[in-house]
Amino acid sequence: MYVYLMIMEKVRNKDKLLMSGLRVIHEQGLAGASVRDIATAAGVPLGSFTNYFPSKTAFGLEIIDMYRDISHAMIDATLRNEALPPLQRLASYVDASRDFLAEDGMRNGCLCGNIGAEANAHGEDVRRKILGVFSADKGEVAACLKASVAQKEISDRIDIDDVAGFFVSSLQGAFLVAKVEQSPEPVNRFKRVFFSMIPRLEGATSATPLVQPSRQSN
């Protein structure tokens, strides 16, 4: 019985560290949050941290996975929701992301984007983890764009990989500016601009370049 209680206490302490750590790291960043900050927020002894996590980097990797569980639920409800037209899935994903970040007044931004912005402060494992997150998001957006082409919502002449990459990187940029401004407007602006471009793609013909060549300066 004593052993069982000890095991349960360890499980509870690890869960406390992860749940509180997610909030602390989202607010302060992985680089800015100390192990002491995380343990104090969790209400567990400082030494408990190393019982479960060999390093703050290892802890951070688990925190990213926890945050992605939230993202996956959002993706399932929007980008993977085949009950919606593909372009509506993309729009719904932007709206859902904005509304999620607005729960704290846009003050904390996207956790994965925040950690990515401080990538030089972390090891290669963290950089690769965040790279995988962005790559996965790009793949989900690309799948929507492919479906949109198949349903003739947009031209089949678009470079799906380029547009998907643009969507993800631009949305992450909007999240960062929204965090600085503490306003959802940068995300709304991204949505307006991105979808204002879609009719041009729909009306494209083989003689109409989708991207105008850059003007050469004299």
Q: Kindly report, residue by residue over 194-207, the tens digit of the pLDDT.
A: 999 876 655 444 33
Please report, for the domain that includes residue 28, its CATH number.
1.10.10.60
Q: What is the pLDDT of residue 122?
A: 86
Is residue 187 within 8 A of residue 171, CB to CB? The reply is: yes
195 and 142 in one domain? yes
Domain count, the chain: 2
> In terms of residue numbers, what domain contains 37?
1-53
pLDDT tens string 93-104: 999 999 999 999
Helix, strand, or coil here: 152?
coil
**Domain membership flag for residue 218:** no
Q: What is the largest CA-CA distance in the chain?
A: 82
Q: Assign 11 a pLDDT band (cuts: 50, 70, 90).
A: low
In terms of C-beta density within 10 A (0-12 exposed, 13-18 middle, 19 or more buried), how is residue 105 classed? exposed
Q: What is the pLDDT of residue 199?
A: 63
pTM of the model: 0.84
